[in-house]
Protein backbone atom coordinates (compact mmCIF):
# COMPACT_ATOMS: atom_id res chain seq x y z
CA UNK A 1 0.00 0.00 0.00
CA UNK A 2 2.76 2.42 1.02
CA UNK A 3 4.82 1.43 -2.01
CA UNK A 4 1.85 2.00 -4.26
CA UNK A 5 1.38 5.44 -2.72
CA UNK A 6 5.00 6.42 -3.42
CA UNK A 7 4.73 5.07 -6.95
CA UNK A 8 1.65 7.26 -7.58
CA UNK A 9 3.38 10.18 -5.88
CA UNK A 10 6.44 9.83 -8.14
CA UNK A 11 4.23 9.67 -11.22
CA UNK A 12 2.40 12.80 -9.97
CA UNK A 13 5.69 14.65 -9.54
CA UNK A 14 6.76 13.71 -13.08
CA UNK A 15 3.37 14.79 -14.48
CA UNK A 16 3.61 18.14 -12.65
CA UNK A 17 7.17 18.66 -13.89
CA UNK A 18 6.05 17.97 -17.46
CA UNK A 19 3.11 20.38 -17.12
CA UNK A 20 5.42 23.05 -15.72
CA UNK A 21 7.99 22.57 -18.50
CA UNK A 22 5.29 22.48 -21.17
CA UNK A 23 3.78 25.74 -19.94
CA UNK A 24 7.16 27.39 -19.66
CA UNK A 25 8.12 26.64 -23.25
CA UNK A 26 4.79 26.71 -25.05
CA UNK A 27 3.46 29.83 -23.33
CA UNK A 28 6.73 31.36 -22.19
CA UNK A 29 6.00 34.99 -23.10
CA UNK A 30 2.40 34.83 -21.90
CA UNK A 31 3.47 33.17 -18.65
CA UNK A 32 6.13 35.77 -17.97
CA UNK A 33 3.62 38.53 -18.77
CA UNK A 34 1.10 36.95 -16.39
CA UNK A 35 3.68 36.94 -13.60
CA UNK A 36 4.10 40.70 -14.01
CA UNK A 37 0.55 41.39 -12.88
CA UNK A 38 -0.22 38.51 -10.52
CA UNK A 39 0.44 38.50 -6.80
CA UNK A 40 0.98 35.30 -4.78
CA UNK A 41 -0.46 35.44 -1.27
CA UNK A 42 1.40 33.04 1.03
CA UNK A 43 -0.06 31.54 4.20
CA UNK A 44 2.06 30.93 7.29
CA UNK A 45 0.97 29.91 10.79
CA UNK A 46 3.43 29.37 13.66
CA UNK A 47 6.96 30.70 13.16
CA UNK A 48 8.90 28.37 15.38
CA UNK A 49 8.44 24.69 16.08
CA UNK A 50 6.35 24.17 19.20
CA UNK A 51 6.46 20.66 20.75
CA UNK A 52 3.11 18.96 20.47
CA UNK A 53 1.84 21.23 17.73
CA UNK A 54 0.95 19.99 14.29
CA UNK A 55 4.16 20.14 12.27
CA UNK A 56 2.13 21.40 9.32
CA UNK A 57 1.48 24.73 11.01
CA UNK A 58 5.09 25.29 12.11
CA UNK A 59 7.88 26.86 10.07
CA UNK A 60 11.21 26.82 11.97
CA UNK A 61 12.52 30.30 12.77
CA UNK A 62 15.72 29.69 10.79
CA UNK A 63 13.77 28.66 7.71
CA UNK A 64 11.50 31.71 7.94
CA UNK A 65 14.60 33.93 8.18
CA UNK A 66 15.86 32.21 5.01
CA UNK A 67 12.54 32.95 3.30
CA UNK A 68 12.89 36.67 4.03
CA UNK A 69 16.52 36.59 2.89
CA UNK A 70 15.36 34.91 -0.33
CA UNK A 71 12.73 37.60 -0.99
CA UNK A 72 15.34 40.27 -0.37
CA UNK A 73 18.02 38.72 -2.60
CA UNK A 74 15.55 38.07 -5.42
CA UNK A 75 14.11 41.58 -5.46
CA UNK A 76 10.64 40.81 -4.08
CA UNK A 77 8.50 43.44 -2.39
CA UNK A 78 6.79 41.95 0.64
CA UNK A 79 3.48 43.69 1.29
CA UNK A 80 0.19 43.26 3.15
CA UNK A 81 -2.97 41.84 1.59
CA UNK A 82 -4.63 45.27 1.87
CA UNK A 83 -1.73 46.94 0.08
CA UNK A 84 -1.73 44.31 -2.68
CA UNK A 85 -5.46 44.83 -3.17
CA UNK A 86 -4.99 48.59 -3.38
CA UNK A 87 -2.14 48.27 -5.90
CA UNK A 88 -4.02 45.76 -8.06
CA UNK A 89 -7.16 47.93 -8.17
CA UNK A 90 -5.10 51.04 -8.92
CA UNK A 91 -3.31 49.28 -11.76
CA UNK A 92 0.09 49.82 -10.14
CA UNK A 93 3.14 47.70 -10.86
CA UNK A 94 2.95 44.46 -8.86
CA UNK A 95 5.75 42.51 -10.52
CA UNK A 96 7.61 40.50 -7.87
CA UNK A 97 5.23 41.60 -5.15
CA UNK A 98 4.37 38.90 -2.65
CA UNK A 99 1.90 38.97 0.25
CA UNK A 100 2.78 37.25 3.50
CA UNK A 101 -0.11 36.26 5.76
CA UNK A 102 -0.11 34.57 9.16
CA UNK A 103 -3.14 32.68 10.44
CA UNK A 104 -4.35 32.01 14.00
CA UNK A 105 -2.45 34.80 15.82
CA UNK A 106 0.21 32.73 17.58
CA UNK A 107 2.38 34.55 20.09
CA UNK A 108 5.52 33.73 18.10
CA UNK A 109 4.15 35.85 15.25
CA UNK A 110 4.89 38.79 17.54
CA UNK A 111 8.08 37.54 19.21
CA UNK A 112 9.73 35.93 16.14
CA UNK A 113 8.10 36.87 12.81
CA UNK A 114 7.43 40.54 13.54
CA UNK A 115 11.04 41.49 14.44
CA UNK A 116 12.38 39.58 11.42
CA UNK A 117 9.91 41.34 9.10
CA UNK A 118 10.92 44.68 10.59
CA UNK A 119 14.59 43.91 9.99
CA UNK A 120 13.83 43.89 6.26
CA UNK A 121 11.26 46.70 6.34
CA UNK A 122 8.60 44.21 5.22
CA UNK A 123 4.90 44.41 6.05
CA UNK A 124 2.56 41.45 6.44
CA UNK A 125 -1.01 40.57 7.41
CA UNK A 126 -1.96 38.72 10.61
CA UNK A 127 -5.37 37.04 10.88
CA UNK A 128 -6.38 36.52 14.51
CA UNK A 129 -9.12 34.40 16.13
CA UNK A 130 -11.51 36.44 18.29
CA UNK A 131 -11.78 33.82 21.04
CA UNK A 132 -8.02 33.26 21.20
CA UNK A 133 -6.55 36.78 21.29
CA UNK A 134 -4.83 37.26 24.67
CA UNK A 135 -4.95 33.54 25.50
CA UNK A 136 -1.93 31.32 26.24
CA UNK A 137 0.28 31.04 23.12
CA UNK A 138 -1.63 33.83 21.34
CA UNK A 139 -0.93 37.51 20.74
CA UNK A 140 -2.66 40.19 22.81
CA UNK A 141 -4.60 43.21 21.57
CA UNK A 142 -1.75 45.43 22.83
CA UNK A 143 0.72 43.54 20.65
CA UNK A 144 -1.63 43.81 17.67
CA UNK A 145 -1.90 47.57 18.25
CA UNK A 146 1.88 47.88 18.27
CA UNK A 147 2.28 45.82 15.12
CA UNK A 148 -0.38 47.84 13.35
CA UNK A 149 1.34 51.07 14.38
CA UNK A 150 4.45 49.70 12.60
CA UNK A 151 2.75 48.99 9.31
CA UNK A 152 1.44 45.45 9.84
CA UNK A 153 -2.11 44.68 8.82
CA UNK A 154 -4.45 42.91 11.25
CA UNK A 155 -7.33 40.83 9.89
CA UNK A 156 -9.96 38.45 11.25
CA UNK A 157 -9.86 34.65 11.29
CA UNK A 158 -13.41 34.49 12.74
CA UNK A 159 -14.48 34.12 16.36
CA UNK A 160 -14.16 30.38 17.01
CA UNK A 161 -12.07 29.12 14.07
CA UNK A 162 -14.75 26.53 13.22
CA UNK A 163 -15.04 26.17 9.43
CA UNK A 164 -17.73 28.65 8.34
CA UNK A 165 -19.39 26.23 5.93
CA UNK A 166 -20.61 24.08 8.84
CA UNK A 167 -21.78 26.97 11.05
CA UNK A 168 -25.57 27.36 11.39
CA UNK A 169 -26.64 30.50 9.50
CA UNK A 170 -27.92 32.07 12.73
CA UNK A 171 -24.40 32.03 14.21
CA UNK A 172 -22.68 33.57 11.19
CA UNK A 173 -23.05 37.18 12.43
CA UNK A 174 -21.32 36.17 15.67
CA UNK A 175 -18.51 34.39 13.80
CA UNK A 176 -18.00 37.19 11.30
CA UNK A 177 -18.96 40.48 12.93
CA UNK A 178 -18.05 39.89 16.59
CA UNK A 179 -14.24 39.50 16.14
CA UNK A 180 -14.18 42.51 13.82
CA UNK A 181 -16.07 44.57 16.38
CA UNK A 182 -13.58 43.51 19.08
CA UNK A 183 -10.68 44.54 16.85
CA UNK A 184 -12.42 47.85 16.16
CA UNK A 185 -12.64 48.51 19.91
CA UNK A 186 -8.89 47.94 20.30
CA UNK A 187 -7.52 49.32 17.04
CA UNK A 188 -10.00 52.15 16.56
CA UNK A 189 -11.22 51.18 13.09
CA UNK A 190 -12.82 48.37 11.13
CA UNK A 191 -10.31 45.92 9.70
CA UNK A 192 -10.93 45.08 6.05
CA UNK A 193 -9.87 41.47 5.57
CA UNK A 194 -10.95 37.99 6.61
CA UNK A 195 -9.20 34.64 6.23
CA UNK A 196 -11.64 31.71 6.25
CA UNK A 197 -10.63 28.95 8.72
CA UNK A 198 -9.60 25.93 6.63
CA UNK A 199 -10.37 28.10 3.61
CA UNK A 200 -14.01 27.01 3.92
CA UNK A 201 -17.03 29.12 2.95
CA UNK A 202 -20.35 28.85 1.12
CA UNK A 203 -23.08 31.08 -0.31
CA UNK A 204 -24.57 31.82 3.14
CA UNK A 205 -21.13 33.03 4.30
CA UNK A 206 -20.73 35.29 1.27
CA UNK A 207 -24.25 36.70 1.82
CA UNK A 208 -23.45 37.43 5.48
CA UNK A 209 -20.19 39.22 4.64
CA UNK A 210 -21.97 41.35 2.06
CA UNK A 211 -23.90 42.91 4.95
CA UNK A 212 -20.67 44.57 6.17
CA UNK A 213 -19.39 46.94 3.50
CA UNK A 214 -16.17 47.63 5.42
CA UNK A 215 -15.05 44.05 4.69
CA UNK A 216 -13.13 44.45 1.45
CA UNK A 217 -11.67 41.02 0.87
CA UNK A 218 -11.58 37.43 2.14
CA UNK A 219 -8.99 34.72 1.57
CA UNK A 220 -9.82 31.13 0.64
CA UNK A 221 -7.54 28.11 0.50
CA UNK A 222 -7.73 27.95 -3.28
CA UNK A 223 -4.30 27.92 -4.89
CA UNK A 224 -3.14 30.44 -7.45
CA UNK A 225 -2.43 34.16 -7.53
CA UNK A 226 -4.58 37.26 -7.26
CA UNK A 227 -4.91 39.64 -10.17
CA UNK A 228 -6.82 42.89 -10.67
CA UNK A 229 -9.62 40.86 -12.31
CA UNK A 230 -9.96 38.46 -9.36
CA UNK A 231 -9.77 41.22 -6.73
CA UNK A 232 -12.40 43.22 -8.57
CA UNK A 233 -14.81 40.41 -9.49
CA UNK A 234 -14.52 37.95 -6.58
CA UNK A 235 -13.01 39.92 -3.65
CA UNK A 236 -14.40 37.45 -1.10
CA UNK A 237 -12.80 34.45 -2.81
CA UNK A 238 -9.14 35.42 -3.13
CA UNK A 239 -6.42 32.83 -3.71
CA UNK A 240 -3.78 31.82 -1.21
CA UNK A 241 -0.92 29.32 -1.09
CA UNK A 242 -0.05 27.47 2.13
CA UNK A 243 3.61 27.38 3.15
CA UNK A 244 4.78 24.30 5.03
CA UNK A 245 8.11 22.87 6.06
CA UNK A 246 8.48 19.84 3.81
CA UNK A 247 12.16 19.42 4.63
CA UNK A 248 13.32 20.94 1.34
CA UNK A 249 14.59 24.21 2.79
CA UNK A 250 14.43 27.21 0.49
CA UNK A 251 13.62 24.97 -2.50
CA UNK A 252 10.26 24.28 -0.86
CA UNK A 253 9.45 27.99 -0.93
CA UNK A 254 10.58 28.36 -4.55
CA UNK A 255 8.30 25.48 -5.56
CA UNK A 256 5.30 26.95 -3.76
CA UNK A 257 5.85 30.33 -5.39
CA UNK A 258 6.16 28.73 -8.81
CA UNK A 259 3.05 26.68 -8.17
CA UNK A 260 1.06 29.78 -7.20
CA UNK A 261 2.05 31.46 -10.48
CA UNK A 262 1.53 28.34 -12.57
CA UNK A 263 -1.90 27.46 -11.14
CA UNK A 264 -2.93 31.12 -11.42
CA UNK A 265 -1.76 31.28 -15.02
CA UNK A 266 -3.57 28.10 -16.04
CA UNK A 267 -6.70 29.32 -14.27
CA UNK A 268 -6.47 32.61 -16.17
CA UNK A 269 -6.50 30.55 -19.39
CA UNK A 270 -9.64 28.72 -18.32
CA UNK A 271 -7.92 25.44 -17.44
CA UNK A 272 -9.47 23.55 -14.47
CA UNK A 273 -6.67 23.59 -11.89
CA UNK A 274 -8.02 21.54 -8.98
CA UNK A 275 -6.12 18.47 -10.14
CA UNK A 276 -2.83 20.39 -10.47
CA UNK A 277 -3.24 21.82 -7.00
CA UNK A 278 -2.61 18.35 -5.59
CA UNK A 279 0.69 17.94 -7.42
CA UNK A 280 4.15 19.11 -6.51
CA UNK A 281 5.36 21.69 -8.98
CA UNK A 282 9.13 22.05 -9.36
CA UNK A 283 10.85 25.37 -9.76
CA UNK A 284 11.13 26.16 -13.46
Euclidean distance between CA atoms 188 and 57, whole angstroms: 30
For residues 118 and 198, which CB has a smaller minimum distance to Zn ion in the complex? Answer: 198
For residues 128 and 209, which CB has a smaller minimum distance to Zn ion in the complex? Answer: 128
Q: Which residues contact 124 (CB under 8 A, 6 or more apart)?
A: 78, 80, 99, 100, 101, 102, 113, 117, 152, 153
- Binding site residues, Zn ion, CB under 5 A: 103-104, 197
* Cβ-closest position to Zn ion: 103
**How many residues appear in the chain?**
284
For residues 177 and 196, which CB has a smaller minimum distance to Zn ion in the complex? Answer: 196
Query: Least distance in Å: CB of 198 to Zn ion?
Result: 7
For residues 193 and 197, which CB has a smaller minimum distance to Zn ion in the complex? Answer: 197
Query: Least distance in Å: CB of 76 to Zn ion?
Result: 24
DSSP string, 127-155: EE-TTTTTSTTB--HHHHHHHHHTT-EEE
Euclidean distance between CA atoms 253 and 62, whole angstroms: 13
Query: Least distance in Å: CB of 56 to Zn ion?
Result: 11
Query: Least distance in Å: CB of 48 to Zn ion?
Result: 16
Instruction: Kindly state the helix (H) or strand (E) to which residue 43 belongs, with its residue range.
Output: strand 41-44
For residues 221 and 282, which CB has a smaller minimum distance to Zn ion in the complex? Answer: 221
Instruction: Kindly state the helix (H) or strand (E) to which residue 71 belongs, with its residue range.
Output: helix 61-73
Euclidean distance between CA atoms 240 and 193, whole angstroms: 13
Query: Least distance in Å: CB of 196 to Zn ion?
Result: 9
Amino acid sequence: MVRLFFKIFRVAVVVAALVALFVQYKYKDEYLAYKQHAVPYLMYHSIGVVPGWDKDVCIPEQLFAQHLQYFSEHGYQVITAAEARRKLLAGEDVAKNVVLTFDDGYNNNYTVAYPLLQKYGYHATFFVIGNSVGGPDYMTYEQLQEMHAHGMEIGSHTMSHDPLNIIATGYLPWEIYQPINLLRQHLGFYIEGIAYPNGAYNQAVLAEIHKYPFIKYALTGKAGCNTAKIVRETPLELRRMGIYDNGNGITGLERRLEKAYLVGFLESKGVPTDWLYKLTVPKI
